[in-house]
């Protein structure tokens, strides 16, 4: 799945391709840059280099090789802004106290493209407002320095799709949890007899679970030889992945005890 980044309230996905003029790029390989740019830096493409092997960026005029970046493609339309995990739409209406706005200027502790809450809306036709900036100070914005945002209400089909995706994720997580619990149970079973998982010994009674070229599945046999992690049955077949191919039915210690009881 492509990585998603939120820049100026807009979501972008990473795409590995040659960038076009006007597109945003993100540096992902900054090995030989002489400090001119760093991994994670985001730029806007101004032009292609004369040789065509680099792009020239607007912000610094630096040349960046095509192998050093990924293109950032917008995920949502330009009028959709993502803030704190929620989607907002740009609207043209009078602002009210409590609204959230998108700043269009960089000024003192305000950041262009950031979202702020309106602390006070001035009366009259100027539509000036006050917001709490990044330094927690009260700051004045003129009407041409912000855009009003309204929450986007998801459609029923979008909610159904989100619910289906959530259910699928729950099923996936439950399967992973069951796998972890099964692994823990297996480790506990082997630890109870003082062995590592999948550690067989000569004399163990094992059951064939997966047998592409040995005894049929379900066959019980006594382990005749163990070489490293390889297990051999009485017919000389080898099981190179015994922790997957075999199931321990009775460890040699219990078999010896039973035999001792029979002799007695």
pLDDT tens digit string along 55-105?
999 999 999 999 999 999 887 666 678 888 788 888 888 888 888 888 888
Q: Is residue 199 part of a domain?
A: no
Task: Identify the domain boundary among 52, 74, 96.
Answer: 74
Shared domain check, 69 and 12: yes
List own/partner pairs for 215-223 with CB under 8 A and 24 or more apart: 220/249, 222/255, 223/252
> At a CB cut-off of 8 Å and minimum separation 6, what does 210 contact?
217, 244, 245
Give the pLDDT confidence score for residue 43 in this predicted structure. 94
Query: CA 231 to CA 205: how far, in whole Å?
Result: 12
Whether residue 212 is contained in a domain is answered as yes
Number of alpha carbons in the 13 Å side-chain half-sphere of residue 204: 23
213 shares a domain with 168? no
Q: Which distant-in-sequence residues (6+ apart) come within 8 Å of 178 by Cβ? A: none
Distance from CA of residue 257 to its chain's centroid? 52
State the residue range of the domain holding 241.
205-263
| Cα–Cα dist 246/205, whole Å | 10
Label residue 214 by pLDDT band (50, 70, 90).
Answer: confident
Q: How many CB atoms lie within 10 A of CB 12?
A: 23
For 181-208, what is the mean pLDDT? Answer: 91
Domain co-membership, 132 together with 97: yes
Please write the tens of the pLDDT for every residue from 104-115: 888 777 788 888
Q: Is the pLDDT of residue 179 over 80?
A: yes
Q: Is residue 214 part of a domain?
A: yes
For residues 135 and 105, membership in a common domain is answered with yes
Domains: count for the chain: 4
Per-residue b or e along 80-113, where b marks 16 or more CB atoms closer than 10 Å to that residue's CB? bbbbeeebbebeeeebeeebbbbbeeeeeebeee
Least confident range from 69-73, 165-169, 172-176: namely 165-169
Identify whether 195 is part of a domain: no
- How large is the average pLDDT for residues 211-238? 91
**Are 66 and 100 within one domain?**
no
For residue 43, what is the domain's CATH number? 2.30.30.30
Q: How far apart are CA 181 and CA 18, in angstroms?
A: 46
Q: 217 in a domain, yes or no?
A: yes
| Closest of 222, 225, 193 to residue 208, by C-alpha | 222
CATH number at residue 127: 2.30.30.40
Burial class (CB in 10 A: 0-12, 13-18, 19+), 211: middle
16, 51: one domain: yes
| Pair (21, 52) in one structural domain | yes
Q: List the Cα angle 157/158/162 in 5-degree steps.
A: 115
Q: Which helix (H) or strand (E) holds 71?
A: strand 69-74
The CA–CA distances, whole Å, from 84 to 7, 100, 129, 159 equal: 12, 12, 22, 19
Chain centroid to CA 168: how far? 16
Does the residue 12 lie in any domain? yes
Regarding whether 87 and 145 lie in a shared domain, the answer is yes
Query: Residues 176, 235: one domain?
Result: no
- How do beta strands 146-151 and 138-141 pair? unpaired
For residue 225, pLDDT over 90 is answered with yes
Task: Give 247's contacts (C-beta < 8 A, 6+ positions apart).
Answer: 206, 207, 209
193 within 8 A of 257, measured Cβ to Cβ: no
Domain annotation covers residue 197? no
Query: Would you say residue 193 lies in a domain?
Result: no
């Amino acid at each position: 799945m492509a990585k998603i980044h939120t820049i100026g309230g807009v979501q972008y996905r990473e795409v590995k391709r040659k960038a076009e003029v006007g597109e945003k790029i993100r540096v992902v390989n900054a090995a030989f840059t002489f400090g001119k740019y760093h991994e994670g830096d985001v730029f806007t493409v101004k032009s292609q280099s004369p040789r065509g092997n680099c792009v020239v960026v607007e912000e610094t005029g630096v040349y960046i090789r095509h192998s050093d970046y990924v293109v950032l493609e917008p995920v949502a339309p330009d009028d959709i802004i993502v803030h704190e995990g929620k989607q907002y739409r740009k609207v043209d209406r009078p602002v009210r106290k409590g609204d959230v706005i998108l700043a269009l200027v960089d000024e003192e502790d305000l950041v262009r493209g950031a979202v702020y809450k309106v602390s006070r809306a001035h009366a009259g036709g100027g539509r000036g407002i006050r917001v709490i900036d990044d330094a927690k100070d009260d700051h004045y914005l003129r009407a041409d320095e912000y855009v009003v945002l309204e929450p986007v209400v998801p459609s029923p089909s979008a909610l159904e799709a989100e619910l289906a995706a959530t259910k699928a994720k729950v099923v996936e997580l439950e399967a992973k949890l069951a796998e972890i619990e099964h692994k823990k149970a297996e480790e506990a079973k082997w630890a109870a007899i003082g062995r590592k998982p999948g550690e067989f010994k000569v004399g163990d009674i094992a059951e064939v679970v997966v047998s592409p070229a040995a005894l049929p599945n379900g066959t019980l046999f006594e382990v005749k030889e163990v070489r490293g992690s390889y297990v051999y049955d009485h017919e000389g077949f080898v099981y190179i992945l015994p922790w997957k191919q075999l199931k321990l039915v009775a460890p040699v210690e219990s078999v010896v005890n039973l035999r001792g009881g029979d002799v007695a």
